[in-house]
Amino acid sequence: MTIRSILVANRGEIAVRIIRAAKALGIHTVQVYSAADRDMLAVKMADAAVEIGPPSAAKSYLNIAAVMKAAIDAGVDAVHPGYGFLSENAAFAKAVTDAGLVFIGPSAQAIQLLGDKVEARKVAKAAGVPTVPGSDGRIDDLDAARIVVAGIGFPVMIKAAAGGGGRGIRIAETMEDFERHFPQASAEALAAFGDGGLYVEKVITRARHVEVQILGDGIDAVHCFERECSLQRRRQKVWEEAPAFRLPDAVRTRLCASAVALAREVKYRGAGTVEYLYDEESGEFYFIEVNTRIQVEHPVTEMVTGIDLVEEMIRIAGGDRLSVRQDKIKVQGHAIECRINAEDPVRGFLPAPGTIEALTVPEGEGIRFDTMLYAGYQVPPFYDSLLGKLIVWGETRESCLNRLRQALQTLEIKGLATTIPLHLALAADPAIASGDVHTRFLEPWLDTAFQSPVPPKEVA
């Protein structure tokens, strides 16, 4: 069907991103918002806006009934969930389609299948994708878990079967650690996802986090190459790049082909990401999970391939076939994304909501700033702290880093603390320049090497 109107079921910078893509396609937009987000940029940009509840996300952005009422009352053709909130909720996707609307993403069945990490591992194995040594299924019993980990060997990672975002995860170095962490992880997973099921994987020492962007139309699938996402704090990505650095061409070819094989196995529709751990020492990679949505870091892929992933999602949801063939997708240059959060890295990443007193955004070739900010905007304390994403492109990684340093020095967000000082320090670090990083690099670096180039503000 032809999509003429879209309800944006999200907030912040991704809502702005979706509205811009929809407008480029001539599509009418309706933005939902909570009582705390009346002055949000996406509300100002959309053709129409509907308040759906109080500030609490559980009573607004996570309230399926409220979002669906807004969509039906507004008479839209389709719903775009963005990332986070309801984007990987199979019940929401089903509610949208049951109402006769188009869900801009994969089917509810695909979300359900790939959203359960245990089931996703089975799909990956069926598609011939290498998986990390671990339990064959969900483990709900500690006694059974002891037997599994004894066969795998320590260290091991305890992970929630449902959900993501680093929640419900514990690393155990010994059996004593494991017995202590197992019930904690189960309780956290139950609280976060309503499902306390767990599974166990072997920890790959000094692993890198590499992910592949996929696009599928339900019949065929392609990849848009890979991203490097190894710089993480508390398993949350901080800085992403495309393409992955120091990745041999033969490994890249196998990695990307395996992601496409998995997408074809489930007849994937829309944009998605297949995530892997890469063992640089052995040259082997292992499947972690599939994110059945657009990713926060999608702009770096857009910068190096020239493909508008959000527009492509909308076209596919409307019934179009893929507009790009695999042999036509090429990588040109290098791109880096820095997540700019309302947090104070000098004070242990303390959340820092507040009013944007002034905003200076770098401009020029190869520079993009995806944000929801404007001067005078009051950043609410109720949601994720992401303010925007600074994305920089260069012909080489070295030139990209040089341009990033200049852009970070220009970017100024007055009125609250941000993670700009962290990114300035990372952009100047020799280990970052050489690519000598892994998923456990950042937290020790913060303790021993982080020197903020910006002095902390005095606290009254």
What is the full per-residue pLDDT of the chain (460 aa) written as tens digits?
799 999 999 999 999 999 999 999 999 999 999 999 999 999 999 999 999 999 999 999 999 999 999 999 999 999 999 999 999 999 999 999 999 999 999 999 999 999 988 899 899 999 999 998 888 888 888 998 999 998 888 999 998 887 666 666 889 999 999 999 999 998 888 887 788 889 898 888 889 999 999 999 999 999 999 999 999 999 899 999 999 999 999 999 999 999 999 999 999 999 999 999 999 988 999 999 999 999 999 999 999 999 999 999 999 999 999 999 999 999 999 999 999 999 999 999 999 999 999 999 999 999 999 999 999 999 999 999 999 999 999 999 999 999 999 999 999 999 999 999 999 999 999 999 999 999 999 999 999 999 887 655 543 3
- Specify the pTM: 0.90
Best CATH choice for the domain 5-104 from the list 3.40.50.20, 3.40.50.1100, 3.20.20.140, 3.30.1490.20: 3.40.50.20
Topology of domain 133-202 in CATH is: Dna Ligase; domain 1 (3.30.1490)
Considering the chain, tell me which residue range(s) the CATH 3.30.1490.20 domain(s) occupy. Answer: 133-202
Say which residues have a Cβ less than 8 Å from residue 243's Cβ, sequence separation at least 6.
225, 226, 227, 228, 252, 304, 331, 334
d(CA 83, CA 11): 9
**Other Cβ atoms within 10 Å of 358 Cβ, number:** 10
The terminus-to-terminus CA distance of the chain in angstroms comes to: 58
**Other Cβ atoms within 10 Å of 61 Cβ, number:** 26
How far lies 5's CA from each of 12, 19, 103, 197, in Å? 20, 11, 12, 39
Tokens in use for 63?
Answer: 């309230």
**Domain 208-448, second-level architecture:** 2-Layer Sandwich (3.30)
Q: Where are the beta strands (DSSP E) in 67-207?
A: 78-80, 102-103, 156-160, 170-172, 198-202
Considering the chain, tell me which residue range(s) the CATH 3.40.50.20 domain(s) occupy. Answer: 5-104
**167 catalytic residue (yes or no):** no
**Among 293, 315, 368, 397, the one annotated catalytic:** 293
Considering the chain, tell me which residue range(s) the CATH 3.30.470.20 domain(s) occupy. Answer: 208-448
